[in-house]
């Protein structure tokens, strides 16, 4: 399976890693093109999308001074099952970030650019040790009933 994944060639979007949304044609890197290649330059987006474990996933109009936390609050905030420490931003250029560097920095205070998508993932660990204990107890109980039933049938 892993070998199959390694053999897959990337197709589609190429991340150009431009400095900012105001880049000009002269700022584009030299890309070798092949016959059949095409370049599509989308219009400049005017929204920011918030997805995942929030109360109302939606697209919001971009405002220059809003942060990641501001947009999450516009979406009703993170739900109780959200894993807010794993929140990440997919930037309009295709790159993604989940950390802001610096002392006392967090992604929540990071500025957002137009076209970015903020993803608040769902926590994968919903069960407690008590819930796990109940499940295992039920399994052993059913196993014991099955063993007792077989003994009765055998005798």
Say if CB 63 and CB 116 are below 8 A apart. Answer: no
SS3 38: coil
CA distance 16 to 97: 15
Residue-level pLDDT, tens digit, the chain, 155 residues: 556 656 655 566 677 766 666 667 777 778 788 887 777 777 888 999 999 999 999 999 999 999 999 999 999 999 988 888 888 998 887 788 876 544 444 566 677 889 999 999 988 765 667 777 888 888 887 877 777 777 777 76
Query: What pLDDT does residue 119 have?
Result: 92
Say if CB 97 and CB 107 are below 8 A apart. Answer: yes
Q: What is the DSSP string of the chain?
A: -HHHHHHPPP-S------SSTT--GGGS------TT-----PPPP-EEEEEESBSS-EEEE--TT-BHHHHHHHTT-B-TTB-GGG-EEE-TTS-EE----STT--GGG-B--TT-EEEEPBPS----HHHHHHHHHHHHHHHHHHHHHHHHHH-
Say if CB 112 and CB 89 are below 8 A apart. Answer: yes
Query: What pLDDT does residue 9 have?
Result: 59
CA distance 72 to 83: 13
């Amino acid at each position: 399976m892993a070998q199959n994944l390694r053999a897959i060639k990337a197709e589609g979007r190429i991340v150009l890693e431009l400095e900012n949304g105001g880049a000009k044609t002269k700022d584009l890197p030299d890309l070798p093109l092949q016959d059949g290649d095409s370049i599509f330059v989308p219009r400049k987006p005017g929204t920011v999308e918030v997805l995942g474990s929030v109360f109302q996933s939606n697209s919001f109009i971009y405002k220059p001074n809003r942060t990641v936390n501001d947009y999450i609050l516009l979406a009703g905030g993170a739900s109780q099952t959200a894993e807010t420490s794993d929140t990440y931003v997919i930037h309009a250029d295709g790159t993604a970030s989940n950390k802001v560097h610096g002392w006392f920095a967090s992604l929540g205070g990071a500025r957002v650019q137009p076209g970015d998508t903020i993803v608040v993932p769902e926590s994968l660990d919903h069960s407690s040790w008590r819930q796990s204990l109940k499940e295992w107890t039920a399994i052993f109980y059913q196993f014991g009933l099955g063993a007792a039933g077989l003994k009765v049938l055998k005798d």
